[in-house]
Chains A and B, each alone.
Chain A
Amino acid sequence: MNTGEKDWDKKGWKDVPIAGLITEPGTARRYKTGEWRTHRPVWDPEKCINCLLCWIYCPDSAIQVKDGKVVGIDLEHCKGCGICAHECPSKVRAINMVLESEAEAEDGEKVKEETMREGEEGEKERKEERKGEGGNEK
């Protein structure tokens, strides 16, 4: 939502549907709400016991699970609320919240690229899983 450089590639006012209408159904998953985040959950697969409490509590379905096991966090939709880290059992502490700016600086471009790739792959899977669910996006 921060009109960063990449937003200038989006359509201009002459080319968007009138009245802010969304003319295609089921497009919410394409809306990258992860940009709202100030704190990022960092998941440690070594510590994770796959209790899936984070998956149950996550309000944005951002905990990625495959075959009953946590495989990652969808950072394109995670808003950084920290519920996952809070619910992660205190003896486990497999998820920790770190400042997004610090995480970005630490990970650099590498993480960004990985996230994009994961996001795209995850998207394909989710498309299959949630076919028929409504949503919206510009």
Chain B
Amino acid sequence: MAGSLEQETVKFVAMTGNEAVAEAMRQINPDVVAAYPITPQTEIVQIFSTFVADGLVKTEFVTVESEHSAMSATIGAAAAGARAMTATSSQGFALMWEMLYIAAGLRLPIVMPVVNRALSSPINIHCDHSDTMGARDSGWIQIFSENAQEAYDNLIQAVRIAESRDVLLPAMVCMDGFIVSHGMESVKLLMDEEVRGFIGEYEPAYSLLDVDHPITVGALDFADWYFEHKRQEAAAEAPVAEVVLKVGEEYGKLTGRSYGLFEAYRLDDAEVAVVALGSTAGTAKAVVDELRQKGVRAGLLKIRLYRPFPKDAIVRALSGVKAIAVLDRSDTFSTMGGPVFIDIKASMYDLMHGEHGEHGEHDAHGAQDAREARDMQGPRIVNYIYGLGGRDIDLEQIRKVYERLQAIVATGETGEPVSYLGVRE
């Protein structure tokens, strides 16, 4: 069935990431888009505005004066019951900051493509993840894309995920500035009807325009109620992973491209593995293939759903690996390493404790050898911060990362936990 569907409907088009995302937005056909242009996201808004001008969408397009207003207008539209979207990058994203938390707190399923770009200062327009990483605690769902195809697919799925009645949270779909947003790739598009069928008619959970059921949105919420509402928001994050899997599977049935919480690339029997997100995962895959040909048990875990963090599934996938390098395209400036590194390390702590308990029972009567003692500590984990401000990451750099992981496995010496990759000393 899927085969015949493909023949009849699927088309390949040469597109940049921005074009693919704008095309997805046209097919989603949101009620309201309020957006402001910023490099490297500009094209998305520009292309989408031509769709509006040409009457290809029914969208009310609001040309706002800033990203703070863009998110504010999008929130207002969503609270009024509209399927509302916006898009941004970097400084614009930073300017949305206070409104990001309001979108999440009001449980509005806004979907927003974010083209990842470095934050000032110094000023820079190129890719890193410091913009969206800073908002990892804002309550938004964060999905990262490796290439234009994934950005397109993720945006369509994000509508379903965000609007799920079990979730009702805003979602941002991240793609690497210029590398994905401006790189031309072959993208497989869905037909308009397929997208419409997949996302379905939007039925808001609540609407300010529903005069038969008047509501107050954003009322003062003091010490006697605020905590309960935030606790409820935290609970909404719990079912996200399951919804992401369900939607990803359904999308796979429609397109032949299924999506999970992450992509485990040649990870099953891997001894050494890299964790990365975004376009760098593509580069790392090439190195993994190379190493596998040489007989090295190398693997990759590409994070797709970053927030909420699918801790348990990631721990399971990485539990058999002996040495892990987490590649972070942003720094936390905390001396603790990058954000993904911190998350992975925190997740692994649970794994160690789980194992500790089991071993503890087995070893109650006898000594355990040094090898077992080392395993109990869980995988060795190191961190590389790389690619800030669009600094290239190439095969050679990633080869060196895997070489170090092999050395860690051979010697048992982890060395410096946090390193900077591709920076001049």
Question: Beyond A13-B235, A25-B214, is A18–B224 a contact (Cβ under 8 Å)?
Answer: no
| A105 contacts the other chain (CB 8 A) | no
Q: Which of A3, A14, A21 contacts B224 (CB 8 A)?
A: A3
For window 266-321 of chain B, which residues contact chain A by CB distance below 8 Å?
A: none
Interface bits B93-120 vs A (CB < 8 Å: 1, else 0):
0000000000001111000000000000
Stretch in B145-153, B174-182, B225-233, B372-380 with 4+ CB within 8 Å of A: B225-233
Query: Which residues 54-89 of A have a CB within 8 angstroms of B?
Result: none
Interface residues on B, range: 20 to 34
Number of A-B contacts (CB under 8 A): 61
Whether, in the assembled complex, B362 has its beta carbon less than 8 Å from a beta carbon of chain A, the answer is no
Interface string of A1-31 (1 = CB under 8 A from B): 1110001001111101011111101000000
Which 6 A-B pairs rank lowest in CB-CB distance, beginning with the nearest? A22-B216, A13-B228, A13-B231, A1-B222, A19-B107, A136-B216
Residues of chain A whose beta carbon lies under 8 Å from any beta carbon of chain B: 1-3, 7, 10-14, 16, 18-23, 25, 136, 138
Tell whether, in the assembled complex, residue A20 and residue B223 are in contact, meaning their CB atoms are under 8 Å apart.
no
Known: A2-B223, A10-B224. A16 touches B232 (CB 8 A): yes
Taking the complex as formed, is B367 at the interface, i.e. its CB lies under 8 A from any CB of chain A?
A: no
Task: Find out whether the CB atom of B229 lies under 8 angstroms from the CB atom of A13.
Answer: yes
Cβ-based interface call for B213 (8 A): yes
B343-382 to A contact mask, C-beta < 8 Å, 1/0? 0000000000000000000000000000000000000000
Please report the C-alpha to C-alpha distance between residue A19 and residue B213 in the assembled complex, in whole angstroms.
16
Does B238 make an interface contact (CB < 8 A)?
Answer: no
Interface string of B167-197 (1 = CB under 8 A from A): 0100000000000000000000000000000
Q: Annotate B228-247 by CB proximity to A: 1 below 8 A, 0 otherwise.
A: 11011001000000000000
Of A10, A11, A20, A138, the residue contacting B105 (CB under 8 A) is A20
Mark contacts of B208-225 with chain A using CB atoms, 8 A cut-off: 1 yes-contact digit, 0 otherwise: 000001111111011111
| Distance of A23 Cα from B207 Cα, bound (Å) | 11
**CA of A16 to CA of B235 in the docked complex: distance in angstroms?**
13
Contact in complex: A11, B216 (CB < 8 Å): no
Cross-chain contact A13 with B232 (CB below 8 angstroms): yes
Question: Using Cβ atoms and an 8 Å threshold, which residues of chain A touch B227?
Answer: 13
B185: min CB distance to chain A, Å: 38
Q: What is the bound-complex CA distance between A18 and B106, given in angstroms?
A: 8
Q: Which residues of A contact B219 (CB under 8 A)?
A: 20, 22, 136, 138
Contact call A20/B168, Cβ cutoff below 8 A: no
Bound together, the chains give a CA A25 to CA B214 distance in angstroms of 6
Is B217 touching A19 in the complex (CB atoms < 8 A)?
A: yes
Contacts of B216 in A (CB 8 A): 21-22, 25, 136
Kindly report which residue of chain B lies nearest to residue A35, judged by CB atoms.
Answer: B224
Partner of A23, one of B215, B221, B224, B232: B215
Measured CA separation A23–B205 after assembly (Å)? 12
